[in-house]
Structure 1
Amino acid sequence: MKKILLALSLLPMVNLVNAQTKTLKTHSGNPIFKGWYADPEGVIFEKNYWVYPTFSAPYEKQVFLDAFSSPDLVTWTKHPRILDTANIKWAKKAIWAPAIIKKKNQYFLFFGANDIQSDQETGGIGVAVANNPAGPFKDHLGKPLVDKFHNGAQPIDQFVFKDKDGKYYLIYGGWKHCNIARLNDQFTGFLPMKDGSTFKEITPENYVEGPFMFIRNNKYYFMWSEGGWTGPDYSVAYAIADSPMGPFKRVGKILQQDAKIANGAGHHSVIRNEKSDDWYIVYHRRPLNQTNGNARETCIDRMYFDKDGFIKPIVMTTEGVSRKSLR
C-alpha cells in the first residue's frame, strides 16, 4: 500500500516533467524574439549567441538599443537599453544598425545616429564602449567617429571587420555608396591607406546599404542590401574577392521576399559556429499583414554553400533553426 501511495504522490511531478519535455522548444522559431526589431548584428561572445538589433520605431522614439543573448539559439534573454541617447550627448534620434566587436577585454559598439542629410548637420557614426557585452555602453569619443559624407556615402550602416592580419576596418555607407577605412588601435580614428587616402570606395553593383563581410577559405565575401527598406523588394546580395578592398563583382541575390512567408527581407549579418561549421543568417523581415515601414522582425535561418563556395539561396522559414549549444 505504501508503494502505491508513493507512486501516486509522484504522479504530479512526473506529469510536470512530461509537460516540460513536450513544451521544450527544439527550434528558435521566427521571429526569434518579440517586438519590432531590425538591422540585427549577430555575434558569439563567451559561448553565447548575441543579437544587437535596431529598435524599429519612428526616429524620434528610436533613441536606445536593446540586446539579446542565447546559449542555444532557442532561448533568448533581453538586455534592455544597453545604449541610450542619454549617454551620448550628440545623439538625439535614429540610433540604428549596431555593429559590435570585442578587442582585448572591451566591447566596442558602433552605431549610426541622427540620420544626417548633409555635412552641416551633427551626427553620423559613433562608438560606445563597455566591459560587458550587455553594457551599459558609454560614449567612447564624445563625438561622431564619421560625421561627413565621403565618396557620397551617408555615414550609416556601419560594420567592423577584423582581417586575417589583425587589422580592423570600418565598412559603412548608405545612399548607394560604400566605404572602407582602417581603424586605429584605439578605435578613435583612422589610419591612411597605402595611397594616402582614408576612405576607399568599394561600392559593388546595385549596392544600397547594410554592408557585411566575412572570410571563408581565404575568400572575402561582401554582402549588402538592395531595394528600398520600406518596400517588399528589400533583399540581400553578395560578391566575392581576394581582398577586403575588392574589387567586388556582384554574384547575385541570396535573400529576398517570399509571398508565403514575409516581405522586405534584408539588412542582415552572419554567424558561424566554428565548432560545428554551421552558418546562420540573421536578418529582419516584414510580416505579410503589415505595411508600416517600422513593422520589422528579427529572424534567423541556415546559410549553406555549394561545392564551389557560392552561397545557396536562403530559404526563409517560420520554424527558424534547431537548437545548437556552444557549451
Structure 2
Amino acid sequence: MNPIIDGYYADPEIRRYGDDYWLFATTSCARGQQVHFDAFHSRDLRQWVKVSHVLDISDFSWVHRALWAPSQFEWHGRYFVVFACNDIQSDQEQGGLGLAVADRPEGPYHDYLGHPLIGNFINGAQPIDPHVYVENDRVYLYYGGWQHCNLAQFNDDLTGFVPMADGSLFREITPAGYVEAPCMIHKDGTYYFMWSEGVWSAAGYQVVYAKAHALEGPFVAQAVILKGDERVAEAPGHHCVVQDPQSGEWQIIYHRRPVGETDSTKRILCMDRLRFDQDGNILPVVMS
C-alpha cells in the first residue's frame, strides 16, 4: 500500500543489515528546515518503525541547512551515511557531501571527518545526491547534480579516495540525459545504472536506466522505467532498489507527488515491483 510511510519524505536509500531493512530519506520541506534525518526499519518491507533524528546538523559545525539524499552503508562493523548539505552553488561556499558514522544502524550519527568529504565542483558536478555501492570489499561513490555524475573509490578508512584504474580520483561517467540521483545494482553479471531526469519539482521528473559490463560503464540510456501517471501520481524519481533474498523479487522505492499538488515539497515514499524481461531489460514500473 502506497505511500509506505506516513509524512513527507524524499530521496530514499535502503540497505539490509542482518534481518532488517533500513530506509533513510530526506525530510521533504523547505531547505532551511531540512536539518535532520529520520530512519525507518522493517523486517518485511511492509511494517515500518520510525527512528527520529538519527542525524542532526548540530553535530556538524560546518553544516547549516539543506540536509538531503542520505546514502547509508555498513563498513567494517560500523555504519556510515554520506549526505548532501548546504546546497552549495559554487566552490566559494562551504558544504557539499558530508560523512557521518555510528556504532548502530539507528545512530546517533556523528561527524566523521570534521569537514566536507567533497566540498567543491569536480568535472562540473554539483556535490549532491550520493549513492554508495559496495562490491568485492571496495566502497564506491556515485554522485552529482547539474547534469554531471562522478564515480570515486573510497580508501579503506573512508577518509578520502584512491585512484581509479585510469589514474583519476573522480571519473566522470555521465550518460546522455543524466540530471541527478544515481543508483547502481548488479544482477546476473550486468551493471544497471539508473538516474533521474527532468526537474524534481516538475511533473515530468522520471527515472531512466542503462546497462554495462563494468561499474564505470560506459552507460548508454536504454529506456524510461518510471514516469508520472495522471491517474496515480506525478514527478516520480530519486529512487533506490532492493532485492528480497527469500523470494528473489526486486523492489523500487522512490518519491512522488499526488497529481495536481502545487507544493513541490509534498513528496511521499512509495514502493513497487521492479521487473526484468528474459533478456535482462528492466520493464516499465507500474505505479500502484
TM-score by length of 2: 0.98
Counterpart among 1, 20, 38 of residue 48 in structure 1: 20
- Number of residues of Structure 1 aligned to a counterpart in Structure 2: 288
In 2, Cα distance between equivalents of 1:104 and 1:272: 22
Residue 52 of structure 1: CA displacement? 0.6
Q: In the alignment, what sits opposite 1:150?
A: 122
Q: In the alignment, what sits opposite 2:195?
A: 224
Residues 267-324 of structure 1 show CA distances to partners (whole Å, capped at 9, x for unaligned) of 000011122211000000001141111010001111110000001100000xxxxxxx
Q: In the alignment, what sits opposite 1:90?
A: 62
Counterpart among 110, 114, 123 of residue 138 in structure 1: 110
Q: In the alignment, what sits opposite 1:194?
A: 165
Tell me if 1:255 matches 2:229. Answer: no
Residue 212 of structure 1: CA displacement? 0.4
Q: In the alignment, what sits opposite 1:105?
A: 77
Provide the secondary structure at the position in 1 that maps to 2:58. helix
Matches within 5 A, 1:172-321: 172-317=143-288
Residues 66-109 of structure 1 show CA distances to partners (whole Å, capped at 9, x for unaligned) of 00111112211110000000011111100000001111211111
Q: In the alignment, what sits opposite 1:5?
A: none
In 1, Cα distance between equivalents of 2:152 and 2:97: 13
In 2, Cα distance between equivalents of 1:296 and 1:316: 15
Greater helix share, 1 or 2? Answer: 1
In 2, Cα distance between equivalents of 1:194 and 1:303: 32
Q: Which amino acid aligns with 1:161?
A: Y
In 2, Cα distance between equivalents of 1:309 and 1:195: 29
In 2, Cα distance between equivalents of 1:81 and 1:46: 22
Provide the secondary structure at the position in 2 that maps to 1:60. helix
In 2, Cα distance between equivalents of 1:30 and 1:125: 30
Q: Which amino acid aligns with 1:181?
A: A
Q: Which amino acid aligns with 1:214?
A: I
RMSD of Structure 2 on Structure 1 (CA): 0.8
Q: In the alignment, what sits opposite 2:35?
A: 63
In 1, Cα distance between equivalents of 2:56 and 2:116: 15
In 2, Cα distance between equivalents of 1:194 and 1:245: 10
Residue 246 of structure 1: CA displacement? 0.6
Residue 218 of structure 1: CA displacement? 1.1
Runs of 4+ off more than 3 Å = none
Greater strand share, 1 or 2? Answer: 2
Tell me if 1:127 matches 2:99. Answer: yes
TM-score by length of 1: 0.87
Q: Which amino acid aligns with 1:194?
A: A
Provide the secondary structure at the position in 1 that maps to 2:33. coil
In 1, Cα distance between equivalents of 2:209 and 2:247: 24
In 2, Cα distance between equivalents of 1:196 and 1:289: 48
Residue 46 of structure 1: CA displacement? 2.1
In 2, Cα distance between equivalents of 1:302 and 1:88: 37
**Larger relative contact order (Cα-Cα within 8 Å, sequence gap ≥ 6):** 1
Tell me if 1:79 matches 2:56. Answer: no
In 2, Cα distance between equivalents of 1:204 and 1:68: 32
Tell me if 1:33 matches 2:8. Answer: no
Provide the secondary structure at the position in 2 that maps to 1:120. coil
In 2, Cα distance between equivalents of 1:192 and 1:74: 41
